[in-house]
Amino acid sequence: FFSCTHDLMMADRGVSVVVQPHLFSRLLYANPVCMLTCCSDDGTVCTLMTISWITAINNHGLFFVSMNTKRSTAGVLMSKEVKTFVLSVPVKGMEELLKKIGKCSSTDTNKFDQFGIECCRPGWTPLSEAEQTMLNRCVSRSAPDDDGQPTIQTCPPNLPTVAVVSSTAGSSSVTSDSPHGITPAQSITFAQSSNQCDPSVVPWERDLEPCASEEFQPSDSHGTAQVNKDIPAQGQRRSAHKKQKVCDATDSMQSGVVAISDCVAHLVCIVDRVLDDSDGHLQLKCRVTSAHVRKGYWTGNTFKPTAADLPPYLTFFGGGEFGVAQPL
């Protein structure tokens, strides 16, 4: 099925729609299964996982994510100075690929290469040769999945850095024995803070600086990740260069983000706030900073297939069972 519909879906490979900020959340209304990619600031790590615990909380791209703290992606994302990641939305016919991503347990397998996963910049712009080289160097490690959200893709920490990936300076270094300072046996705890993001600021106009309660530091000597409260006060802005790195999807690898080519929507996102780590899961308040959709999946204000021969995107029932989201 997928081989036929894939050709139809990709026939307009160069045609995509830039979604306007007031419609960002339309891409998440139906809680689609997503492929989440995240690259480290130093360019040595690119992770891949599937995730379905995503819920929009307003009309302008704010959403909640729940992510298992055992996942390698959690360590990579929380170690980033600007906590960017990409959600790519797969469609019917890609279920087996999603399962394989989670079931792969080899410690020396490159999942992108092993499963023929083609990557691009958000918006389907091709990766540069240097960017593709970075992905080709990645090898994977697997962890048991106890929550129905298969994951993960990591690189060994001693791989050479590809300069094009990120020019971010002053990134926090990881000091524990784990490549990212977090091991499956460890938990992540966060200090409580009364600081709040200014609700009067429109989400996409708000400064990309997280609130003081959001800054995450790698593990201490006891293997517990800590919150750093000693960051600029609310309203103090980062440099224009750092903000541009997040907002400009065409310069995506300098923001440490890559997308999946065969998916029908790309959402560049940032963590606004780490709320909790209850029950071994990071509770993240995030927002979309830019989004692209295949033309055949955008009506002008809703995210759905516009033709009967286009495969719908997926939802997840648990226990390895997928469903589809399609209009009545």
Ranges of each domain in the chain? 2-169+237-319
pLDDT for res 110: 67
Of 25-29, 58-62, 81-85, 205-209, the range with the lowest mean pLDDT is: 205-209
Amino acid found at 289: T
**Burial of 235 by CB count in 10 Å (0-12 exposed, 13-18 middle, 19+ buried)?**
exposed
Mean pLDDT, residues 249-272? 79
Burial annotation 71-103 (CB, 10 A radius, 16+ → b, else e): bbbbbbbbbbbbbbbbbbbbbbbbbebbeebbe
Whole-number pLDDT of residue 41: 84
Q: Given this model, what pLDDT does residue 39 score?
A: 84
Q: What is the DSSP letter of 29?
A: T
The average pLDDT across 191-218 equals 32
pLDDT for residue 192: 30
Which residue shows structure tokens 């995503």? 54
Q: What is the pTM of this model?
A: 0.66
Give the per-residue pLDDT at 104.
Answer: 63
Residue 10: predicted pLDDT:
53
- Position with higher pLDDT, 118 vs 178: 118
The mean per-residue pLDDT over the stretch 171-197 comes to: 31
Contacting residues for 206 by C-beta, under 8 A, at least 6 apart: 197, 198
Residue 297: pLDDT over 60: yes
Please check whether residue 98 is in contact with residue 316, taking contact to mean a CB–CB distance below 8 angstroms: no
Amino acid at 285: K
Among 1, 6, 15, smallest CA distance to 296 is for 15
3-state secondary structure of 253: helix
> For position 193, what pLDDT does the model report?
30
pLDDT for residue 298: 95
- The answer to whether residue 239 scores a pLDDT higher than 80 is no
Residue 255 confidence (pLDDT)? 55
- Alpha-carbon distances of 178 from 159, 160, 182, rounded to whole Å: 15, 18, 6
Best CA proximity match to 74, nearest among 316, 289, 318, 271: 271
The domain defined by 2-169+237-319 carries CATH number 3.40.50.2000 = no
pLDDT in tens, 113-146: 778 889 999 999 998 888 887 777 765 443 434 3
**Mean pLDDT over all residues of the chain?**
67
